[in-house]
Copies of this chain bind each other. A is one copy, B any other.
């Protein structure tokens, strides 16, 4: 385990084998984190789903208690008492359901949502990786073109063109590598906080409940 916690942007410009090797360590870490976050999100969504189902279930039960009154029982003697007790229980259940709904909402906002946002904002390093890869191949391509140029004098104009192309490709590659390095650094920076935030949301919701 290397004792580094960020990629140096200077290394991005040099693009040395050492820099590439260190980059791959950060990439591996991001990959593991993506897998873990997806599993974590799935587990959290299951908790949220259960909480939501609890709301719907207590709602249905509360309605079912009220429905007793509307059954038109052929023998209704003594039912007034049952009906008023069922009404009372239905009210208690509605109050409980209010608490469950509040908890479900809190779990959605403070537990599930932060993980979704983390995944969308910080874990999109793979897109930047693709752009970086694309820019690198373009750069390699224009370099190859340049090296295949005949050394004759009359090619001076074509040479100038290709030199321009190489320079543009290099700028593009530098830019995309800087963006990619920055995103990987930001991910390391956010990683631990991103794990804690939804749990604090969960705990907070439970305490309120």
Contacts and interface: CB of A to CB of B under 8 A. Distances in A.
Contacts of A32: 71-74
B43 A195 contact: no
Nearest to A46: B57
Interface stretch (A82-90, A123-131, A159-167): A82-90
A150 interface: no
Interface stretch (A10-18, A21-29, A141-149): A21-29
Given A43-B57, A47-B57, A82-B196, A77 B36 contact: no
* Chain A residues touching B, range: 35 or more
A96 B206 contact: yes
A74 B5 CA distance: 11
* Number of chain copies forming the complex: 2
A64 B81 contact: no
Contact of A26 (B51, B74, B85): B74
B25 A75 contact: yes
A158 interface: no
Interface in A78-127: 78-79, 81-82, 85-86, 89, 92-93, 96
Interface string A39-64: 11001101101110110111011011
A54 B64 contact: no
B206 A74 contact: no
B2 A89 contact: no
B195 A86 contact: yes
Contact of A74 (B29, B53, B93, B199): B29
B192 A78 contact: yes
A44 to B, nearest CB: 6
A186 interface: no
30 contacts: A1-B77, A4-B77, A5-B75, A25-B74, A26-B75, A28-B74, A32-B74, A33-B73, A36-B67, A36-B71, A40-B64, A43-B61, A43-B63, A44-B61, A46-B56, A46-B57, A47-B54, A49-B57, A50-B50, A50-B53, A50-B57, A75-B188, A79-B192, A85-B196, A85-B199, A86-B195, A89-B199, A89-B202, A92-B203, A93-B202
